[in-house]
Amino acid sequence: MTEQNQKGTALVTGASSGIGAVYAERLARRGYDLLLVARDQQRLEKLAASLSADYGVQVEVLKADLTQKPDIKAVVQRLRGDSTISVLVNNAGVAMNGPLIEADSDAVDRMLELNITALTHLAAAAGANFVAAGGGAIINIASVVALAPEMFNATYSATKAYVLSLTQSLSSELGKSGVQVQAVLPGVTRTEIWERAGIDANGIPAAMVMDAGEMVDAALAGFDQGELVTIPSLPDAADWSAFVAARQKLGPNLSHSQAAARYKA
């Protein structure tokens, strides 16, 4: 058996550009075969050809629009039925510009379908496959706006808070199944996402913007360290631990038979 076969196949959604394309390259370099998913077949095929030439891995392209139920279903079926898949990078996502009350409702629907619905069904299918196999990994790309909802527009931030919450719950559900789960919370990263959303990223201070290569390398370092949540730019990991501890301190008091004294007349 070759090394690639032992590592299995990594399915990367949104692999045609930005963060997903970098994940594809890094995972090929690690010896994974690849299954690249996005809408732009031409771009995927170009990337596939270059990665298989550079790293000698098998790279397959699966064209899918993950806002469309039949396409989500096709990727889900592949994840459920293909036991060579050992990693899912749930990366495909879009942002939106402007406040919720001015948002185009069809565009909101498409974003919810991609950032939430597709990501959820793919994680479920991969999780079922990996539990049966006794191992595998699910990497969900969230965003720092999950922790700072006032920083960006409401709908996008809320989709990313969902991704963080889903990943934390999923990790707890999967327990000791041997399946590794990670949420990655990038800050502003230099990709096409801004232009696609009609946002001028030139106004963002350069000191806040990370290259996609640096971001993915940090995220994979966090993955190798077994982190559940990775925030690539956060200098002090103790700040995240303190945030988690503050949340956990609420735990014992979140459900009682009596309302708190301050709510009683």
Ligand X SMILES: NC(=O)c1ccc[n+]([C@@H]2O[C@H](COP(=O)([O-])OP(=O)(O)OC[C@H]3O[C@@H](n4cnc5c(N)ncnc54)[C@H](OP(=O)(O)O)[C@@H]3O)[C@@H](O)[C@H]2O)c1
66 lies in the site for ligand X, by CB under 6 A: yes
Subset of residues 68 to 97 that bind ligand X, contact rule: CB under 6 A: 91-95
Helix (H, G, I), strand (E, B) or coil at 202: helix
18 lies in the site for ligand X, by CB under 6 A: yes
- Provide the token pair at 175: 């327990």
Q: Are 79 and 88 in contact (CB under 8 A)?
A: yes
Clarify whether 156 is annotated catalytic.
Answer: yes
Residue type, 63: K
Q: Using CB under 6 A, which of 10, 11, 19, 126 touches ligand X?
A: 19
Q: Find, among 194, 232, 181, 189, the residue nearest to 212 by Cα.
A: 189
Which residue lies nearer to ligand X by CB, 94 or 147?
Answer: 94
155 lies in the site for ligand X, by CB under 6 A: no
Subset of residues 185 to 214 that bind ligand X, contact rule: CB under 6 A: 186, 188-189, 191-193, 196
Which residue lies nearer to ligand X by CB, 141 or 181?
Answer: 141
CA dihedral 133, 137, 156, 152 (to 10 degrees): 160
Q: Using CB under 6 A, which of 40, 45, 82, 214 touches ligand X?
A: 40
Chain centroid offset of residue 123 CA: 10
CA–CA separation, 136 and 30 (whole Å): 15
Active-site residue list? 156
Which spans of this chain sit near ligand X (rule: CB under 6 A)? 14-20, 38-40, 43, 64-67, 91-95, 114, 141, 143, 186, 188-189, 191-193, 196
